[in-house]
Amino acid sequence: MNFEDLRGWADDDHQAALLVFCKTVGLIKGDVWRNIAEAAKSATDARIFFETYFHPVMSEDGRPMLFTGYYEPEISGARAQGGAYQYPIYAVPDDPKLSGLSRRDIDEGQPLAGKGLEIAWLCDPLDVFFLQVQGSGRVRLPSGDVIRVGFAAKNGLPYTSIGRVLIDRGIVTADEINPDVIREWVSDHGDDGRRLLWENESYVFFREVKEVSSQEGPIGVMGRSITPWRTIAVDPAHVLYGAPVWIEKPGLHRLMIAQDTGSAITGAQRADIFCGTGDAAGRSAGQINDTGRMITLLPKAMTDA
């Protein structure tokens, strides 16, 4: 495969991709990547840089391509429980027995309550749930101040898409499903809605993120702030963290950087596109459910060996 085979390659903003690439390339181990990182710092033409040092390679595992989107929610919350703020987001428990509890165990028995693990309190259990699905978010306090929370750990139980559960039950079609539809269904169905959330046994614990300001993007798996519409989450079993990845899907042909991951992201042809922060980004993310293809750019020094 050559760069001429990448649809829309010549029309992309390669300089924008290079700036994002430079955030994390220095973290990739190995002499080949160290040399590329040095070359990236002095590159005067981003397109020529990528074409000089990389070769497009498409890996496949027999599964069809799926693009989805994710975002960083901004949610109203408080530091202390009270009034409308009744639903906590938790830090990681010290006791390993507690970290292995299911979502239902935690919701019903409240075994984490009163242990000083509450980072903030939200108004809606669905806000907690979707914050866990996204893996990070910003909490806007009554004072107007903002705190950022990021993924710290999981309970170790498998992730289940509740959207997929609704589809499999024939409640909605694949074309209809999006976060707003899920929210409405859960809110309208009381105990059945609560039980639907329990279908996803996976539970995410958070930490307060202080390494970057609330104006920057959230921290990705590589420990650096990620960038809307240039960062993708990938399966590290198939795509190296920090690698440039060309994506082609309806309405978007663009060079992205693999700087994040997620529980639902599995397979060689699977990617989650980071769409930004807030409600507008959430709407954009919820509309992405596309086929296409993704091609990883691998160093020529590795592919020519």
Query: How far is Cα 36 from Cα 240, in angstroms, rounded to an integer?
Result: 15
SS3 52: helix
Report pLDDT for 98: 81
Report pLDDT for 230: 97
What is the CB-side half-sphere exposure of residue 51 using CA atoms within 13 A?
A: 13
Output the six-digit token pair for 7. 């649809």
- The alpha helices in 83-210, defined as continuous H runs, are 96-99, 103-109, 125-134, 162-168, 179-188, 190-198
Report pLDDT for 212: 78
Q: Cα(first)–Cα(last) distance of the chain, in Å?
A: 16
Question: For the chain, which residues make up each domain, given as ranges?
Answer: 3-69+218-303, 73-209
Report pLDDT for 214: 67
Decide if domain 3-69+218-303 falls under CATH 2.40.40.10.
yes
Q: Kindly report the pTM of this predicted structure.
A: 0.76
Number of other residues whose CB lies within 10 A of the CB of residue 100: 14
Helical axes 31-42 vs 46-53, angle rounded to 10°: 160
Cβ proximity of 202 and 103 under 8 Å: yes
Out of 2.40.240.50, 3.40.50.720, 3.40.120.10, 3.20.10.10, the CATH code matching 73-209 is 2.40.240.50
The model's pLDDT over 56-99, given as tens digits with 9 standing for 90+, comes to 999 888 888 999 999 888 999 999 999 999 999 999 998 877 87
Query: How far is Cα 70 from Cα 274, in angstroms, rounded to an integer?
Result: 5
The CA distances from residue 110 to 90, 114, 119, 219, in Å, are 11, 9, 15, 29
Cβ proximity of 226 and 256 under 8 Å: no
The CA distances from residue 84 to 78, 88, 91, 191, 292, in Å, are 9, 12, 21, 20, 43
- The alpha helices in the chain, defined as continuous H runs, are 14-24, 31-42, 46-53, 96-99, 103-109, 125-134, 162-168, 179-188, 190-198, 279-286, 300-303
Query: How far is Cα 135 from Cα 152, in angstroms, rounded to an integer?
Result: 9
Query: How far is Cα 71 from Cα 286, in angstroms, rounded to an integer?
Result: 9
SS3 240: coil
Sign of the dihedral defined by the CA atoms of residues 131, 135, 140, 141, in that order: positive
Domain 3-69+218-303 and domain 73-209, same fold? Reply is: no
Helical axes 190-198 vs 125-134, angle rounded to 10°: 20
Please state the separation of Cα 73 from the chain's center in Å.
11
Q: Which one, of 38, 23, 40, 19, lies nearest residue 212 by Cα? A: 23
Which residue numbers in the chain have pLDDT < 50?
305
Number of other residues whose CB lies within 10 A of the CB of residue 110: 10
